[in-house]
């Protein structure tokens, strides 16, 4: 496949996709960012031309991948200089219908279901790519492009993708914040957060082969009210964390009572 690509964006996702495309020897024509410095950093690594003005985008790429913050996508679409080329965004929570609003005729979604950090290497071959397009031809083109990077390709429509996005917040973003809370709690007693990492790893590895509903442990699932009370008292200096602890505990107890855990 000899698809040429231009990338709109220079953040975490754009960096990973751009470098992965380049490693697969696909041609990246241009990298756009509002910051020419950021565009240049990525463009130099993938042999592309950096630009900082949408008017400078050339119509010589086969596919344009928009990989920027969700709330900035419409401002790019509104000023995009041509409407007939294949264009796709990488957002989890934004409907495909946004392209229709601005008169595009060939469009889709190229959503990698993963958390990205710019300076952490990531093997995209195992990352699920959720693909949606406005017609079968474009669906096939985006699928073929995703297959250059990953072994896990899913045809997912906008409603399914929005649901996945919410689920991903619970599966990824919230747990990471809970790790942050755990780090602050241990730091209060001058303990190293690293002591919890084997526990975190074991918990994460269990769900590879088991349903989370089968692996829930802790005082809430046992409805151990004395321990729960003690924990809440220990969090007296962290009122917000008390509320989070109580909310999650109540939810676990309720689902256990209802036979859902």
Alpha helices in the chain (DSSP H): 12-23, 36-45, 73-79, 97-101, 136-147, 158-168, 174-188, 197-209, 212-215, 219-222, 225-234, 239-257
Task: Return the CATH number at 28.
Answer: 3.40.50.720
Q: Are residues 18 and 138 in the same domain?
A: yes
Task: Return the CATH number at 229.
Answer: 1.10.1040.20
Q: Are residues 114 and 203 in the same domain?
A: no
Q: Are residues 139 and 172 in the same domain?
A: no
Please enumerate in sequence order all residues whose Cβ is within 8 A of that of 258, keeping only pairs 6 or more positions apart, or say none: none
pLDDT above 90 covers a percentage of the chain that reads 88
Q: Are residues 25 and 151 in the same domain?
A: yes
Q: Are residues 29 and 150 in the same domain?
A: yes
Which pLDDT tens digit goes with each residue over 242-259?
999 999 999 999 999 998
pLDDT band at 225 (very low <50, low <70, confident <90, very high): very high
Q: What's the burial of 152, exposed, middle or buried (CB within 10 Å: 0-12/13-18/19+)?
A: middle
From 96, 121, 156, give the residue that closes a domain.
Answer: 156
Q: Are residues 101 and 221 in the same domain?
A: no
* Rounded average pLDDT over 34-56: 95
**Domains: count for the chain:** 2
Which pLDDT tens digit goes with each residue over 48-79?
999 999 999 999 999 999 999 988 999 999 99
pLDDT over 90 at 93, yes or no? no
pLDDT band at 90 (very low <50, low <70, confident <90, very high): very high
Q: Are residues 179 and 98 in the same domain?
A: no
Q: What is the pLDDT of residue 240?
A: 95
Q: Are residues 138 and 29 in the same domain?
A: yes
Q: What is the pLDDT of residue 1?
A: 54
Q: Are residues 181 and 222 in the same domain?
A: yes
pLDDT over 90 at 121, yes or no? no
Residue 73 near residue 88 (C-beta atoms within 8 A)? no
Which pLDDT tens digit goes with each residue over 129-142?
999 999 999 999 99
Rounded CA-CA distance 176/180 in Å is 6
- Its sign, for the CA torsion 201, 205, 207, 210, is negative
Q: Are residues 178 and 216 in the same domain?
A: yes
* Rounded average pLDDT over 152-170: 93
Q: In the sheet where 63-66 sits, what is the strand order?
A: 49-51, 27-32, 4-8, 63-66, 86-89, 107-112, 129-133, 153-155
Q: What is the pLDDT of residue 80?
A: 93
pLDDT over 90 at 117, yes or no? no
From 156, 190, 211, give the residue that closes a domain.
Answer: 156
From 131, 156, 181, give the residue that closes a domain.
Answer: 156
The pTM of this model reads: 0.84
Determine the structural domain holding residue 223 and report its residue range: 162-257
pLDDT over 90 at 98, yes or no? yes
- The H or E element containing residue 66 is strand 63-66
Which pLDDT tens digit goes with each residue over 233-243?
999 989 999 99
Q: Are residues 143 and 206 in the same domain?
A: no
Q: Are residues 174 and 133 in the same domain?
A: no
């Amino acid at each position: 496949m000899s698809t040429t690509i231009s990338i709109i964006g220079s953040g975490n996702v754009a960096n990973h996709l751009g470098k992965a495309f380049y490693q697969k020897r696909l041609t990246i024509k241009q990298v756009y960012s509002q910051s020419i410095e950021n565009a240049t950093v990525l463009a130099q690594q993938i042999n592309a031309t950096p630009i900082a003005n949408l008017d400078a985008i050339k119509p010589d790429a086969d596919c344009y991948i928009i990989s920027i913050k969700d709330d900035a996508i419409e401002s790019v679409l509104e000023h995009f200089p041509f409407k007939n080329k294949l264009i796709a965004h990488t957002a989890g929570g934004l409907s495909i219908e946004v392209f229709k609003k601005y008169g595009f005729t060939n469009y889709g979604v190229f959503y990698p279901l993963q958390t990205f950090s710019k300076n952490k290497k990531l093997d995209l071959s195992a990352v699920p790519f959720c693909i949606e397009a406005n017609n079968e031809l474009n669906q096939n083109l985006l699928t073929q492009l995703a297959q250059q990077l990953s072994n896990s390709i899913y045809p997912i429509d906008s409603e399914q993708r929005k649901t996945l996005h919410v689920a991903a917040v619970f599966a990824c973003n919230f747990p990471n914040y809970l790790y942050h809370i755990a780090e602050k709690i241990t730091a209060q007693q001058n303990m190293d957060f690293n002591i919890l990492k084997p526990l975190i790893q074991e918990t994460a590895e269990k769900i590879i082969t088991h349903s989370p509903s089968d692996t829930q442990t802790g005082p809430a699932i046992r409805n151990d009210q004395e321990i729960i009370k003690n924990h809440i008292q220990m969090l007296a200096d962290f009122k917000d964390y008390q509320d989070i602890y109580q909310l999650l505990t109540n939810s676990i107890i309720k689902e256990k009572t209802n036979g859902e855990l």
